[in-house]
Amino acid sequence: MPIPPILHQNCHLILQHPAVNSGEDCGFLLREDPAQPGGVISVQRERSSDGALVVRVFFEVLLADDLLTPRGDACPWTRAEMYAHLLAMLDQCEGIRLTCAAGVFEDLGAIGHSATALHSVHESRVACQLNHNGVYFLPVPLVDYQAALWDGERTWGASWWR
């Protein structure tokens, strides 16, 4: 994907993992409902009787060659490019970052059932599920997440913990 994804401009959802697309962000368009422009994600929290918490994030990606972006122009990525990046993401058991309108979800993985795809001649719709098995924090607002990025050298002498 040579054109970088920009949330709300050329994509609804961004996935990132160091082992996919050379670690660069991958943008996707969500299946939209007239009542929910921009698509939606669903977050499910499940606590087992032994106290373990599993968080599942659900979303449905739309893949086609003639899609329109949220701005209304032609999607810069092909169906094949988006599908290849999505499948590569679904091979990752941890370390996936998901950025969407709700904020940034860190350290998700494709554990267990991770996708159901419906393919037709002109489009594919892929219902995805990413999981988080650990300490769960609410998604970080995108503005706060971007403000916390550090582009300098990370050393013990120049770092601090929040």
The pLDDT of residue 102: 85
Question: What gap in Å lies between CA 25 and CA 11, rounded to an integer?
Answer: 11
**Considering only 50-59, 106-115, 131-140, which range has the smallest mean pLDDT?**
131-140
- Residue 29 CA to residue 21 CA, distance in Å, equals 17
CA distance 30 to 62: 5
- pLDDT of residue 127 exceeding 70, the answer is yes
In the predicted structure, residue 151 carries a pLDDT above the cut 90: no
pLDDT for 47-106, tens place per residue? 889 888 888 999 999 999 989 988 889 999 999 999 999 999 999 999 999 999 888 888
Question: Position 27: which residue type?
Answer: G
Residue 29 pLDDT class (50, 70, 90 cuts): very high
**Pick from 68, 35, 72, 42: nearest CA to 57:** 42
**DSSP per residue, 22-91:** GG--EEEEEPPBTTBTT--EEEEEEE-TTS-EEEEEEEEEEE-TT-B-TTSSB-SS-HHHHHHHHHHHTT
Kindly report the pTM of this predicted structure: 0.82
pLDDT in the model for residue 162: 42
pLDDT on residue 36: 76
